[in-house]
Structures are given as C-alpha cells and as structure tokens.
Amino acid sequence: MKYVFTALLLIGHSIYAQDSISKSTVQQVSTLMDLKFNDKEIEMMIPDLKDNLIEYSKMHLLPLNNSVGMSMSQKLQPDNATQQKINWQYNKNIQLPFNKNDLAFYSIQQLGSLLRKKLITSKELTSFFINRIKKYGDTLQCVVSITEEIAMQQANQADEDFKKGIDRGPLQGIPYGLKDLFAVKGTKTTWGAAPYKDQVIEEDAYVYARLKQAGAVLVAKFTLGALAMGDYWFGGRTKNPWNLERGSSGSSAGSASATVAGLVPFAIGTETHGSIVSPSHTCGATGLRPTFGSISRSGAMTLSWSLDKVGPICRSAEDAATVFSFIHGTDNKDASAVNAAFNYNPLQDVKKLRIAYAKNIFDKLDSTAQEWTVLKALQSAGVEIHPMNFPDSETYQFDMIGFVIGAEAAAAFDAFTRLNIDDQMTRQTKNDWPNYFRQSRTIPAVEYINTMRHRSILMEKTNQAMKNFDVVITPSFGGKQLAITNLTGHPALCLPTGLNKQGTPNSITFLANLFKEEELLSFGKYFQSITSFDEIHPERFK
C-alpha cells in the first residue's frame, strides 16, 4: 500500500511538473548549460521535456540497491576460446549462368567459386556490379558515391593474386559497399547529412582495412539516414526495392536496399537501436548485428559509445558468416572492442543446439502472424524448440535506450548543437536529430547514471534468461526485445520470412549468447536450407 501511495505521489508530482515547464523554464536551464535556444527551438523541445519527466518518474519507482554498478565501460568479455581455421566450401562444378544478370544474386560462395575456376575475373565482376549501381542507384537513392577508381585497383590486385596462387579467402575479388559513415582515404565520408556532404576524413576505418586485407573490392559508399537515423539523407529518401513508394528504413538504408536489389553481394552497416535489423526486415535482407564490441568501430562515426555496433548486411546467413569471419576483432583503437574467437563450422549439426522461442513475446502475436510459420517449419524438420520467457516490459519499464542514446549522442554532437550546425540539416521536425540533441542536453547526469545502473540489472536478467539455450527465436519487433538486446549487447540475426499481404518483406530474429555468433549463423544457415525465403528477389531488379 505504501508503494502504491508513493507511486501515485511521484506520478502526480511529474504531471504537476509537466505543467510548470514553460519557455522561461527552458531559457533558465539553458543558461546554466552555457547554451542559447531560440523561441522556435524551445517550442519544439517542450513536449519532449514533458515526456522525459514521465519517464524519469517511471525510473524513480524502480528500486536501486546501493551495490548496483553502472555499465558505463560496456566492455564485454568473451570466453578464452582459440580461433580455429574455418574450412570454407567452394563449388567445383559451378558454371556461369546463361543469363548474366543472375550473377547479381549469386552468393559469395558461388562468386568465389567462379573466380577460382577462372570463369570470370574480379575486374569483370566489379564492372558488372558497378554498372548495376549506375543503372539502379538513382532509382533506389541508395548511393552516395561510386568508388570506381579504388574498385578497379583492388579488383586488379585480386586478379594478380589469383594468378600468383595467392588466395586470401572467400572475399578475395568480391565487390561490396560501405555505409557512408566509415572513413576511407581519398573519399568523402558524408554521414548522410547536409552539413558534412563534402567532409573528407583521411583515415581508413578498421572494417575497411580488414576487408581490403581480405581482398574484397569496395565499389560504393551507400546512403544512411542523416547522422544514422532513418532513411532520409541529404539527397532524398532511400527506397525499398520491393515498393519504390516506400522507404528502406534505416539507418543502414542504402546497405540493405542495394544488397537486396543485387547491386552488391554484401554491404556493411551499423546499429545503435535497430539500424541493421530494421532495414533488413523492411527490405528482406539477412542482417547480422554482432555482439557489442566484437568489431572495432575505429574510423566510424560515433553516435553512442556504449551502443554502436558494426555488422554485415547480406542475402544469406552463410554470406554473413563469411563476412563476419574477416571483420571481427580489434585494432586496439576502440576501447570497447575485443578479440573473440569465431569458430564457425559450415557443416555443424544444428540439431545438437538448444533452441528456444520467446513464448511471452510470440503469445502477443495474432495466431495467423507469419512468425508462427518459422516455428512450424523448424518443428516439421525435426528441430526441438523449447518455450522460454524473455525479459520484456516487466524488466524494461522506462525509456532506457532513449536516455542512453540521447545523452551520449548529444555529447558526441556537442559542437553540432552549440555552434548551430544543426540549422543546416535537411529535416527539422520534432522527431529529427536537431531537436533530439537539444532536448537530450537536459537529461541530468544523475538520471543518465541511474539508467546505466538499471541497464546492469537488465544485462544480468537477460544473460540469466539466455544461458540455457544456444539460440532464441523472437519476432523482430515483438515486445521490447530490440531495445533490450541492443542495451545488453547480445547478437541478433534478422532473416527474411517471405512477403506479407502488401507485397513487402517480413522477418524473424534469432538471438544468441554473447560472442556466440557461430551458433547463431549456423542455425540461420540451417533455417535457410529448409526454406526458400532468402531466394526471393524483387522482380524489378532481376
């Protein structure tokens, strides 16, 4: 009874406090922060500041023992497994397709097999994909820049290496694209935002350096929603290849759109809160969001130090495994990144894995929802699937991820707000970064720190729920799992599950324990071997 009374008192106080927020309140607070906002900016901020008060009151209802620490460092520790050699498989009987356009949807393994049989050169393959980018890039509004000169140099090098008997692995000679928040010497790195459309960062991002070392060929830098939000960038809106009237979602907008349309075999994206999963779901890609810290982010734009992750967007789980095997690890320039083993076995018997489904999240779906067909397909194939309760709204009771992203992103873009660079942004609505950064500057340090302490509890509960299973199946957007697993750092694999009634893709998400991508991707490969969803491509781009 005392708790209920306290709760009502706190909520009542927050409602009263909401009514007291005025223009003069914001002006006074901004003075304390050495900032100055104009009347229009303050008017846009006030509704968000009122919403924040409600979320603070929800947090204040949750007890925090003095012994609870904060997840500020967010450096996850892998086990001490030794990296083993991966035995990649090639098809010795492969032939060039009768219709050359079919190459657009060949897997990395198929393209690598053609290269090794000398049925095509990397230079020819690179020209083929660059021509597709030139043909369809404007249609999809998915390309910031074509890196043709770099691509031809790297393709020639790959061909020379093949001639000399040098084989760097399955990515050698394979074209790909980068989300344009990764720095590459000699290119513009625009972050998708008008204030930075001419920005040149003379640095090679870690992920680009690793792919270059693997012999992959950079053909383009793809669009992202401005400063890694959504699918609107300074040049327009990236399109969904299944329906050009719709956006691709984001923020890895161009990476997903281009890969699904067959403009590249794969691309690299990033995620803070759904930026790999959401466009993969929307466009029908297979997107891997790895464990937090499994890939160094050096040379990439920072949005949130404790949340940003790098991952591949592909058309199959095996392609994602192939790419991840070459980009995981660290250059010691990212304080959160570690070297963790990735012992993927293309021939693993996945029926030995312990598989579960998030029953409490599935039960919220309609009985006709497409997600149920995933469980039925796996059970029909003889996979035993156990029900489990995934931490959901009972654990995630306030806008935890909003406060983390808000505080960290506003700090990362301090000068952007302080020097009014935000005025140059193409979009200026209530839900865009300029307003989000402004209102986030009012998040008190105490509330941010206590959010991070609640995050520590969330990590413990999620690890506890996951520990008895190798893979957990969940709707991609069911309950709070997307926010929760981004906060806890767990890896996720988003896979297509066919088209909905509107003719656009749907998806399912598989989760795994920290640094267990090999189990996640092996199971993803198996699921795609017993279904054909990953083999469906948009007609317009065939």
Shared-domain flag, residues 306 and 327: yes
Q: Region 404-421: what's the mean pLDDT?
A: 96
Q: In 98-160, where do the E strands start and end?
A: 143-146
Shared-domain flag, residues 237 and 313: yes
Tell me whether residue 107 is in a domain.
yes
Shared-domain flag, residues 158 and 293: yes
pTM, two decimals, is 0.94
Shared-domain flag, residues 454 and 479: no
Return the H-helix or E-strand segment holding 511: strand 505-512
Shared-domain flag, residues 251 and 357: yes
Tell me whether residue 169 is in a domain.
yes
| Residue 294 preceded by cis peptide, ω within 30 | no
Catalytic residue among 57, 113, 248, 251: 251
- Could you tell me what percent of the chain has a pLDDT over 70? 96
Per-residue model confidence as pLDDT tens digits over 200-246: 999 999 999 999 999 999 999 999 999 999 999 999 999 999 999 99
Tell me whether residue 371 is in a domain.
no
**C-alpha 439 chain-centroid distance:** 25
Number of other residues whose CB lies within 10 A of the CB of residue 284 = 29
Shared-domain flag, residues 143 and 248: yes
Catalytic residue among 275, 304, 325, 476: 275
Shared-domain flag, residues 285 and 419: no
Shared-domain flag, residues 497 and 351: yes
Contacts with 495 (C-beta within 8 Å, 6 or more apart), sequence order: 286, 317, 507, 508, 509, 510, 524, 527, 528, 533, 534
Shared-domain flag, residues 532 and 431: no
User: Is residue 375's pLDDT more than 50?
Assistant: yes
Per-residue model confidence (pLDDT) at position 17: 60
Annotated active-site residue 179? The verdict is: yes
- Out of 416, 442, 460, pick the residue that ends a domain: 460
CATH number, domain with residue 499? 3.90.1300.10
Model confidence at 20, in pLDDT bands (50, 70, 90)? confident
- Out of 406, 439, 460, pick the residue that ends a domain: 460
Catalytic residue among 179, 221, 239, 480: 179
Shared-domain flag, residues 166 and 264: yes
- Could you tell me what percent of the chain has a pLDDT over 90? 91
- Out of 429, 460, 491, pick the residue that ends a domain: 460
Secondary structure class of 221 (helix, strand, coil) = strand
Shared-domain flag, residues 410 and 294: no
Tell me whether residue 37 is in a domain.
yes
Tell me whether residue 157 is in a domain.
yes
User: Is residue 183's pLDDT more than 90?
Assistant: yes
Tell me whether residue 378 is in a domain.
no
Tell me whether residue 132 is in a domain.
yes
Shared-domain flag, residues 451 and 482: no
Per-residue model confidence (pLDDT) at position 73: 61
Tell me whether residue 354 is in a domain.
yes
Annotated active-site residue 275? The verdict is: yes
The domain total for the chain is: 2
Model confidence at 5, in pLDDT bands (50, 70, 90)? very low
Nearest of 473, 481, 476 to residue 494 by alpha carbon: 476
Per-residue model confidence (pLDDT) at position 3: 43
Domain that includes residue 352, residue range: 100-363+470-541
